[in-house]
Amino acid sequence: MSRSIGLPLTFLARMADLLDEEFPTFLAALSRPPVAGLRVNTLKLSVAEFLALCPWELKPVPWCDTGFLLPPTHTASTYPLYDAGLYYLQEPSTMAVATLLAPRPGERVLDLCAAPGGKATHIAALMADQGVLVANEVEPDRAAILARNLETWGARHALVLSETPERLAERWPEAFDRVLVDAPCSGEGMFRKSEQARYHWSEAHVAGCALRQQDILDAAAALVRPGGLLAYATCTFAPEENEGVVWRFLQSHPDFDLEEPAPLPGLDRGRPAWAFWPPTQEEVAPAALPDARAEALSRTARLWPHRTEGEGHFVALLRRRDGAPRREWRSAAASELTSRERAALAAFWEPTVGLPLPERLLVRSSGEESEVYALAEDAPDVRGLRALRPGWLLGTLRKGRFIPAHALALGLRRCEALQRLDLPLGSEEVARYLRGEPLPSSGADGWVVVCVEGFPLGWGKRVSGLVKNHYPKALRWP
Ligand code: SAM
């Protein structure tokens, strides 16, 4: 099926100039509908377990072993397993980024421009709950969405901040093993999906984005430890924001080298000559340069909609040369709970949650309420920073009682809830729970984790045979 999506004429002229003979195939691809994808949450279940539960016919994404293409008729955004955080709906090309960043369990990883959380949730899954993931988003409203998505994902070792890259660079120089800059960009690669991106596009916008990207990358570079990896990604085709930005970065940061990406299927090479595009720019063409670094730009990677089943994306892996050891950060100090607080927490925890109570807890008080967080073992001190989540939010202490957070239920794995109400997938009760209705259930009074197929969906509180609904109002089905 082909459709007209009103592409900016100047954009088309630029792409015709850049792609030459390939342009007609590219244009034909842009008039086809976009492909949707999902990525399985391996923090909660294996890919094989997910496929046994999944009702849609899926096709693997070649560059991500947990990613799948959805058929056009899918209903994946209104399905209970989505509310249980068993998968994330993510544009397929974007799944290449965390695959290439390849974070490892136990590392310190920073996702600097993280909302709404596609790549952050992918990074969290690859880190398997070990180490520290700092997910940062400068826009406060978007940071709140990021926090919610990481909570649904059940990422227990993630912190969510809303800071400028510069403030983080001052606070934690050379502290991270890996840093991802998934930069704000002109979004040409999302033109098939986003009318907004088409509407806001102009050459001036492209130029403005390139300047901003350079500033963000400068700050990001300072955060990477010697020997660590900085990944830069955009969802645009514009050379000024891709090869151009990376070229300027390499010139101003001689301690970074471009690293060859893993040879994933579907990945194309970047184009060194495009670093100096449009040709009116002052730089000389790379062929005339004595510097072999320009040729190294072929180690950047591109995904194209006419060559793969996905949208446009660009990725560069920049390795900081080794030398000095990683700089340490000040660790988060755990709070001393009062005996009253500890008793309230234990009274809830022991009969309800089948995990030992985390040892390192942080209590943040405001007024009569205190939020209780579990701190990752290696968590940094975030005092003085805008931290939406300094750790895994367990719940709130209020007037001597502990009220569990949605994030606690969604962070529990399949067998970690002692008090549960198990509902089968496809049952009317699941839909009723997600709509916010109470459910009849026999058993002891108290908090219960409502589960679908054994996977937590949220909290309920049983009183005399009826489970009162505590599913967050903002997430309820209509
Ligand atoms: N990584 C996200 C994901 O996978 O879901 C998408 C990130 S989006 C491409 C870029 C983000 O950068 C936006 O959320 C935007 O608010 C943020 N941003 C905008 N200006 C910024 C700046 N000056 N510094 C850092 N981040 C910025």
Torsion, Cα of 334, 374, 178, 146 (10° steps): -130
Angle between helices 23-30 and 9-19 (to 10 degrees): 140
Q: In what order do the strands lie in the sheet with 64-69?
A: 59-61, 64-69, 37-40, 87-89
DSSP 380-438: BP-TTS-EEESSEEEEEEETTEEEE-HHHHHHS-TT-BSSEEEE-TT-HHHHHHHTT--
For a ligand 1 pocket test, name from 111, 113, 190, 200 the mutation site with the most ligand atoms within 8 angstroms of its C-beta.
113
| Amino acid in the structure at residue 457 | L
Atom index in ligand 1 nearest the CA of residue 182 equals 1
Cα dist. 301→260, 261, 396 in Å? Answer: 9, 7, 45
At residue 290, the pLDDT reads: 46
Task: Pinpoint the residues of the chain covered by CATH 2.30.130.60.
Answer: 419-478
- 94 alpha carbon – ligand 1 mean position (Å): 14
Q: Whose CA is nearest to atom 9 of ligand 1?
A: 184
Q: Whose CA is nearest to atom 26 of ligand 1?
A: 113
Is the C-beta atom of 181 inside 6 A of ligand 1?
no
Q: Tell me the CATH class for 9-320.
A: alpha beta
3-state DSSP percent of the chain in helix, strand and coil, to 5: 35, 25, 40
Give the catalytic positions in this structure. 235
Is the C-beta atom of 101 inside 6 A of ligand 1?
no
- 116 alpha carbon – ligand 1 mean position (Å): 8
pLDDT tens readout for residues 67-102: 999 999 999 999 999 999 999 999 999 999 999 999
Q: Find, among 259, 267, 196, 273, the residue nearest to 224 by Cα.
A: 259
Fold of 419-478: 2.30.130
Cα dist. 352→195, 342, 445 in Å? Answer: 47, 15, 11
Task: Dig out the tokens for 419 from the structure.
Answer: 């008090």
| Amino acid in the structure at residue 473 | K
pLDDT tens readout for residues 109-164: 999 999 999 999 999 999 999 999 999 999 999 999 999 999 999 999 999 999 99
At residue 6, the pLDDT reads: 86
- 4 alpha carbon – ligand 1 mean position (Å): 29
Task: Pinpoint the residues of the chain covered by CATH 3.40.50.150.
Answer: 9-320
Atom index in ligand 1 nearest the CA of residue 119 equals 4
Weakly modelled stretches of the chain, pLDDT under 50: 1-2, 4, 290
- 183 alpha carbon – ligand 1 mean position (Å): 6
